[in-house]
Amino acid sequence: ELVRIILAPDDIEALQCNPHPVAFSGSEASLPGEIRPFVDFVHQILNGYSFIFPLDQIPLWRCGGFQQRVLAREHGIPPGKVSTYARLAQACGTPKAVRAVGSALSHNPFPLLIPCHRTIRTDGGLGGYQGGLDMKRWLLANEGVSPGPNGKISLDDICFDV
């Protein structure tokens, strides 16, 4: 089973330019069938498409209870929208656990499948991202969410249904 997909930030431009990116150099043709949906999903994201990967196909059981709640809520943020660490903490029933939410997202073993790039700081700042801020900016821009001239995301893009 697929546990983690890691894309090196140095390879972002090469992946964007390649119409048929390879998940792991030289191995795509020999991928087991159960990995194919994940690879196809990553291909679609890198080619500018976005859709929601089914949560029931992601092995959340690998995570602790709190992280499972955070990731499940994070998964509910639709493409083209963002939420904040504070709003996510509140949605998980732990309004004071803002830093713990950030930590749970920073250890997300399923980036892209559970789009932790869609969570930002309350002031509209990007916050962090395990793939680097350039990758976070690219993923958000790919979904139509871009920082303004001040470098912050408009709070008009906030998803209130999380």
The catalytic residue among 17, 63, 92, 116 is 116
Which among 121, 116, 117, 115 has a CA at the least distance from the CA of 150? 121
- Residue 78 near residue 72 (C-beta atoms within 8 A): no
Residue 65 CA to residue 97 CA, distance in Å, equals 14
Which among 159, 117, 152 has a CA at the least distance from the CA of 138? 117
- Residue 134 near residue 12 (C-beta atoms within 8 A): yes
DSSP 109-145: SSTTTS-GGGEE-TTS-----TT-HHHHHHHHHHTT-
Per the annotation, the verdict on 17 as an active-site residue is: no
Residue 49, phi-psi category: left (phi > 0), alpha (psi -120 to 50), beta (remainder): beta
* Catalytic center residues: 116
